[in-house]
Amino acid sequence: MKPKVTTFGSFMMDLVAYTPRRPESGETLRGESFAIALGGKGFNQAIAAGRAGAQSAMLGNLGTDGFGDDFMKAFGAEGVQASDIERSSELGTGVGHISVQTSDGDNSIIIIPQSNDLGTAAYIARHSKTIIESNILLLQLELPNDGNLAAAKLAKENNVTVVLTPAPVAPLTGWGGLVDVVVPNEGEAAALTGIEGDLEKQAEALSKQLGCKYVVITLGPKGAYVTDGERSEVIGAPKVSAVDTIGAGDTMCANLATRLASGDDIFAATK
């Protein structure tokens, strides 16, 4: 039987404009190209968990607009359980407005959460069964904190392993004792701990702050620093020619969760 990995997270329809430079105030600038892509950390992780071999389920909120339809079609095509997703006629699907300078790849992003803000504790109360029946619960910090904390508490009360991606960076007030595995990148680990350049001390601080045993700090092409509180190891990443790193961290976290749910220890799962 496939392990069940449930993701409670966000949806963002990314609207990407590629321009030679940013427009000045009041200026209309001709762009070079435009793209639309389904995103949001929650959506990315749910899709990746399914592709990694898990029975993947998604909890969250969409609008009743065309963008919401696009996300639901994607779940159908990927075989992700989406029956718990609620859709609002008042708040549209979340949108990310992204401007990319083609000269150097620099980008700026405006995020409009919209229906994502409906991911509250009340929503979790209506969909508790899906979390209780899971092996792993994946969480991020793009949704309202009360919803995330309610989901984490429910998971812990029912022996469901909680894996947290602490992004975007936000205070971790109230999270103590609710996380089993925390998976930040280098920048997030530094921002959350106030410690620069020392992976061991960052991991110790995060473990103490959250009361969790396992810390995995992703290092991009260098792999990941992994610790269980007693043993620590830097696990190298396969050498690849990266085409696009968007969503790479979400994909790694979902694969890690799937391997943990399948019985691997934290070191084998990270590999």
| 185-203 residue pLDDT tens | 999 999 999 999 899 999 9
Q: Which of 69, 104, 250, 265 is catalytic?
A: 250
Is the pLDDT reported for residue 60 higher than 70?
yes
Q: Which two tokens stand for residue 112?
A: 């409009």
Q: pLDDT at position 246, please?
A: 64
Q: Quick one: which of 142, 148, 140 has its CA closest to 124? A: 148
SS3 75: helix
Mean pLDDT of 103-120: 90
Sequence-distant (≥ 6) Cβ neighbours of residue 240 within 8 angstroms: none
Q: pLDDT at position 229, please?
A: 87
Task: Name the residue type at position 142.
Answer: E
The pLDDT-based confidence of 244 (bands split at 50, 70, 90) is low
DSSP state of 133: T
The Cα–Cα gap between 237 and 223 comes to 4
The average confidence (pLDDT) of the chain is 93
User: Are 34 and 17 spatial neighbours (Cβ–Cβ below 8 Å)?
Assistant: yes
Domain limits, the chain: 4-10+39-93+113-270
Candidates 3.40.50.720, 3.40.50.261, 3.30.70.1230, 3.40.1190.20; CATH matching 4-10+39-93+113-270 = 3.40.1190.20
CA Rg value for the chain: 19
Q: CA 236 → CA 26, 106, 223, 226, 270, distances in Å?
A: 48, 27, 4, 11, 10
SS3 234: strand
- 244: annotated active-site residue: no
Mean pLDDT of 152-172: 96
Task: Name the residue type at position 25.
Answer: S
SS3 199: helix
Q: pLDDT at position 177, please?
A: 96
Pairing type for strands 4-8 and 86-88 reads unpaired
User: Are 47 and 5 spatial neighbours (Cβ–Cβ below 8 Å)?
Assistant: no
User: Are 251 and 50 spatial neighbours (Cβ–Cβ below 8 Å)?
Assistant: no
Q: CA 123 → CA 4, 67, 107, 116, distances in Å?
A: 20, 21, 34, 11
The pLDDT-based confidence of 174 (bands split at 50, 70, 90) is very high
Does a cis peptide bond (omega within 30 degrees of 0) precede residue 144?
Answer: no
User: Are 164 and 184 spatial neighbours (Cβ–Cβ below 8 Å)?
Assistant: no
The Cα–Cα gap between 234 and 212 comes to 19
Task: Name the residue type at position 123.
Answer: Y
Is the pLDDT reported for residue 9 higher than 80?
yes
Is the pLDDT reported for residue 242 higher than 70?
no
Q: HSE of 148 in the Cβ direction (CA atoms, 13 Å)?
A: 28
User: Are 131 and 159 spatial neighbours (Cβ–Cβ below 8 Å)?
Assistant: no
DSSP state of 223: -
The Cα–Cα gap between 229 and 33 comes to 48
DSSP sequence for 204-249? HHHHHHHT-SEEEEE-GGG-EEEE-SS-EEEEPPPP---S--TTHH
Is the pLDDT reported for residue 76 higher than 80?
yes
Mean pLDDT of 206-229: 92
